[in-house]
Amino acid sequence: MASRVEQFESRVRSQPGNALFRFSLAQALAAEERGEEAIPHFEFCVASRADWMMPRILLGKLLLQLNRRPEAKALLTTALGLAVEQHHDDPERELRALLAEL
């Protein structure tokens, strides 16, 4: 049986422009502690939609883990703006706490 990563790699190969497949692949890679490999897929998702908050949050957290703080801060700041605009209270609280530590 194929792993989640393998399943989503196959789907991304068949539809490379599908942001949802790339988002799922990025999440699966991150879950397997393959963060460097997840980055381009999260970046694709961020570039695909200006209002998509979750890939910004997950990419920002991943970049924090990789000690890439300036990049993380920029993404998390944008995500905070989206959380406020879209009335997502829990992500807003989490993002404010993360940004306060930066």
CA distance 50 to 24: 18
pTM, rounded to two decimals: 0.94
Percent of the chain with pLDDT over 70: 100
pLDDT digits (tens, 9 = 90+) for 68-98: 999 999 999 999 999 999 999 999 999 999 9
Task: Please state the rounded mean pLDDT for residues 10-32.
Answer: 97
- Tell me, what's the pLDDT at 2? 75
| pLDDT at 95 (0 to 100) | 97
Q: What does the pLDDT average to over 53-77?
A: 97
Distances in whole angstroms, Cα of residue 32 to Cα of each of 10, 26, 53, 91? 17, 10, 22, 23
Q: Which amino acid is at 50?
A: A
Examine the pLDDT at 1 and tell me if it is beyond 80. no
